[in-house]
Amino acid sequence: MKLFLIATALLLAGCTAGGATAAGVKFDDEGLADVACMKHQPAPPSANYTNEDGGPTDEVLPVLRYYTAHGKKAFCDGAGPSAADKAWAAVYVDLGADKANVAKLLG
């Protein structure tokens, strides 16, 4: 029974992921590159990332990976976090990740 539920969840996630990305803003993970500094996010997260169920896995995993690897780095332009950057950092924490990785972004 567990296997059936897991398979069903994966199938549903796969079916909804494409539509959800097309419907809203997508997180810019800088192409998974190992960056020396961060770029600002161009827009705040859409409902795909802020809904109660945490959003589609293929969309939230890049947020988790990026801020875990780079969240303590400065922005390339030397400026502080924008409102959009702060909103994305809040998504990272809301997903259960370590707030220490984005503390500078949250202020």
Residue type, 6: I
Can you give the pTM of this predicted structure? Answer: 0.76
Condensed to tens digits (0 to 9), the pLDDT of residues 44-103 reads 999 888 888 777 889 999 999 999 999 999 999 999 999 999 999 999 999 999 999 999
Give the integer Cα–Cα distance in Å for 105 and 98: 13
